[in-house]
Amino acid sequence: MTVAAPDHLHVTVHRAVLAARDFEDNWGSPLETSLAAIALARHSSAYRADAERALARCLRWWRDERPRPISADVAALALTARAASDLQRANYALTLDAVTAVADLVARQNLQIPDLHIALSVWALDTLVPERDQEPWASIRTLSGGGRSGVNVPLNTFVKAFGGDSFDANRLVQDLLGEVSAAPGLSDACILIWLVTVAAEKLSQVLRSDDNALQLLVRRRAGLVDRVVGEVDERTFFAPDVADLSLESSSPPTVPNFLTSFEALLVDVALAVRDEAVPWLTYVEADALFGARADAARLVSEELERRSRRQAGWLLVPLAAALAAVTHLSITVATIPAKVANPASAATGAFVLVIAVVVGSEARASIWRDPLAVLFSVLTLTSTTVAINQSRSHPFISDIWGLVAGALIAAAASLLPPAIERLHARASRDRGGTS
C-alpha cells in the first residue's frame, strides 16, 4: 500500500464527517456527536474550534436532556468524558456519571448490548479510570465471551484485554492477529480499522516498536485501509435511492456501497493526525522527481497549441475567400454597381485575414505577424473607404485611388524588415553548412 492510500481515505471520510454536521453542531445523535468531538480533537489545531463546539453540544445534552439508560447513550456519555479530557476540559462529575452508567449497563446481563458500544466505552474510560480495581472494570470483567461471531469476536477480546486486572499486551496482539479478518465486509472493515488503531496505540506503550507481532498487526491495519480505499468515494456516504432500484428486471438490482457517517467517524478517528499539514515530499524532492516531467509536458502542450493555432489560421484563409465571394454576389444581386461590390468584398476578405493572422501565429514566435496584420488592416480600411466613396453620387475623396496606393505601399513596406531578416538568416545557415 502506498502512503497515498490512507491520505486519500482520510480526506474522503473527513469530508463526510464534516458534511454530516448540522447548524447546531449536532451529528444526528449523542453517540456520533461525542465521537466527532474526539475525532476533531485528534486532528491538527485547525480543528480545535470545531471540536470545542461539538463538545459543548454534548455537554448541553448531558446537563439538559439527560442520557437514557441505553447502550448508545451510555457510550456517548463515556466518549463525552473522553473528549472533555482530550480538550483539557476534564469534568469529574461527567466522568463519574459515565463510569456509573457503564457499570449499571454491564450489570444488566439480560440485555443484548452491542459489543461496539461496550468497546467504545472501554476505550473512552481507559485513561480516565486507570485503576482496574474500580468500576466500571469490575463489572466489565463479568461479561461473557462466548456466542459471538464476525467482528464482535475481536471487539470482545479488546474489551476483555482493556478491562482486565492487568494489561497482557502479548496475548492481546496475538488474539487480534487471529481474529481480525483480512477480508471483512466494508462496514466491518471500518470498525476493524478503528479497533486495530486504538489497540495498537495501547500496545505500543508496552511493546517495542520492532516487535514482530505488533508490526504484523500494523500491516493488517494497512491491508484493511487498502481494502476500504478501493471501494470508498464521496458518493459512498449518500444513501442509495431505493426508487432507482428496478424491481422489474429479471436480475437482482445492484446496491451501491453505502457507509453511514458513524462509520466515517470511526475511520476518521483512526486516521487522524495531530501534526499540521506536512507534505509527503519536500519541495526540493518534488521538483527533482516531477520537474523534468512537468517541463516536458509543458513543451508538448505549447507545441500542440502552436500547431492548433496555425491550423486554425490556415482554415480561415479559404473562409476569407468564401465570405468575399458571398459578399460580392450579394451586392451584385442587389443591382449595386461593381465599383462598390469589388472593394466591399475585398474589405470583407481582408478583415477575416486579419483574424487569421492573429489567430494563426504567436507574437513571440512569428516575425510576420505584426507586418501582415498591419497590411490586411490597412487593406480592410482602404477597401471600406473606397466602397463608401464609390457609392456616393458626389465622392468626398476625389483622388481615392492615389490614397489607396499610398496606404498600401506604406503598409507593404513593413514587410521588408522581416523579409531581410529571413534572407540574412538563410544566408548565415548556408555559409555555416558550406564551412
Residue 80 φ/ψ region, left for φ over 0, alpha for ψ in the -120 to 50 degree band, beta for the rest: alpha
What integer pLDDT is reported at residue 191 of this predicted model?
A: 94
What integer pLDDT is reported at residue 256 of this predicted model?
A: 56
* Alpha-carbon distances of 312 from 319, 323, 358, 424, 432, rounded to whole Å: 11, 16, 10, 29, 35
**DSSP 8-state class, residue 256:** P
What integer pLDDT is reported at residue 279 of this predicted model?
A: 41
| 20 and 28 Cβ atoms separated by less than 8 Å | yes
What's the rounded Cα separation, in Å, for the pair 253 and 247?
7
What integer pLDDT is reported at residue 142 of this predicted model?
A: 87
Nearest Cα to Cα of residue 79 among 40, 23, 135, 112: 40
Tens digit of pLDDT at every position of the chain (435 positions): 444 577 888 888 998 899 899 888 899 999 999 999 999 999 988 899 999 999 999 999 999 988 898 999 999 999 999 999 999 998 999 999 999 999 999 888 666 889 999 999 999 999 999 998 899 999 998 887 677 888 999 999 999 999 988 899 999 999 999 999 877 888 999 999 999 999 999 999 999 888 899 999 999 998 899 888 888 877 887 766 544 444 444 444 444 578 899 999 999 999 987 654 444 344 454 455 456 666 777 778 877 887 887 788 788 888 888 888 888 788 888 777 777 788 888 888 888 888 888 887 764 456 777 787 788 888 888 888 887 877 777 767 766 777 777 777 777 777 777 777 777 777 776 665 554
What integer pLDDT is reported at residue 101 of this predicted model?
A: 95
- Burial (CB < 10 A; 0-12, 13-18, 19+), residue 187, is middle
What integer pLDDT is reported at residue 245 of this predicted model?
A: 46
What integer pLDDT is reported at residue 62 of this predicted model?
A: 94
Helix 71-86 × helix 92-107 angle, to 10°: 150
**DSSP 8-state class, residue 181:** -
Nearest Cα to Cα of residue 78 among 38, 114, 39, 115: 38
Other CB atoms within a 10 A radius of the CB of residue 231 amount to 12
Cell numbers for 385, please give them: 473607404
Four-point Cα dihedral 293, 295, 298, 304, nearest 10: -80
Four-point Cα dihedral 402, 405, 406, 410, nearest 10: 180
